[in-house]
Amino acid sequence: MDRRTTIKWVMAASAAWPLFKAGGARAAAASSELGYGTDPNLLKSYRPGELWPLTLTTQQQRLAGILADIIIPADKHSPSASAVGAVEFIDEWVSAPYPKHRRDRTTVLEGFAWLDAEAARRSGREFADLGASGQHAICTAICDESSAAAELRAAAHFFSVYRDLTAAAFYSTPAGRKDLNYIGNVPLARFDGPPPALLKNLGLL
C-alpha cells in the first residue's frame, strides 16, 4: 500500500499520540467502577500495562505488526509503522477503559479473528503465516469500506479503523512527521511575528 495514499487517511484518525510516550502511556485517567479515576502524574513515565492491563497477546502483536507494515511499509524515506512503535500504540489504545477505546478493542480483536479465519479458509494457515501475496490479497478485498462486498463490510470496517490507528501512530512520531515534511514543533530562539508580505497578502497590513 502506498504511503502517500495513507496520508489521505491520517486526518480521519482519532488517536492522540501525546497521551503516550515510547514504551509506555500518558493516560488521562485510570479506570474504576465509578468512572475513570483521577488524573495520573503527567510528569511521570508509565511502563506498558501500569495504568491498565494490555490486551494483545504475543500472537496478536505479531499479526498487528504485519498488518501495520502492510499499511505503512518501510521505504526510502522512512521506517515501517511497526518499527516506530505502532503496535505498542495500538495495544495501549485498545486497552484503555474509555467507551471509544472499548469499541475499537472489540473491532480490532474481531478483525484479527476474521483475518485468521479467512486465511485458514483460503490456505489452511493463520494470517501471520501466509506469504506476502496471500496477506495482500486478503487486505485488498477489505481495504475500501465503501466498495467491499456485503459479506465483507464488517471486515472492511475493521480495516478502516486499524488503518486510522496505524496512521495516527506513525505520523505523530518524529519519523512520521519527517515523512510528511512537517516543520512544526520546533523551538525558536525568537519570534518576530508573521512576515509583512504574508500579512499584506492576507489584507492585514
Of 49, 8, 168, 20, the closest CA to residue 104 belongs to: 168
State pLDDT tens for residues 104-139. Answer: 999 999 999 999 999 999 999 999 999 999 999 999
Summarize pLDDT for 180-189 with one digit per residue, the tens: 888 787 788 8
> In this predicted model, what pLDDT tens digit does every residue of 37-64 receive, in sequence order?
666 687 888 888 888 899 999 999 999 9
Looking at residue 20, its pLDDT comes to 41
**For position 106, what pLDDT does the model report?**
98
Sign of CA dihedral 11, 165, 94, 91: negative
Mean of the per-residue pLDDT values of the chain: 84
User: What is the pLDDT, as a whole number, of residue 4?
Assistant: 47
d(CA 156, CA 150): 10
Quick check: 28 pLDDT over 50? Answer: no
| Residue 2 in this model has a pLDDT that exceeds 80 | no
Task: Decide if pLDDT at 151 tops 50.
Answer: yes
Residue 138: its pLDDT value, please? 97
pLDDT value of position 3? 52
Measured at the CA of 84, the angle between CA 97 and CA 163, to 5 degrees, comes to: 60
Q: How many angstroms separate the CA atoms of 39 and 178, rounded?
A: 32
Q: What is the pLDDT of residue 202?
A: 92
* Whole-number pLDDT of residue 37: 63
How sure is the predictor about 16, in pLDDT bands with cuts at 50, 70 and 90?
very low
The string over 18-28, giving b where at least 16 C-beta atoms fall within 10 Å of a residue's C-beta and e elsewhere, is eebeeebbbbe
For the entire predicted model, the pTM comes to 0.74
The 8-class DSSP code of residue 32 comes to B
| Model confidence pLDDT, tens digit, residues 71-85 | 999 999 899 999 999
Which of the pair, 27 or 77, is modelled with greater confidence?
77
Model pLDDT, residue 12: 40
What's the rounded mean pLDDT across residues 130-154?
Answer: 95
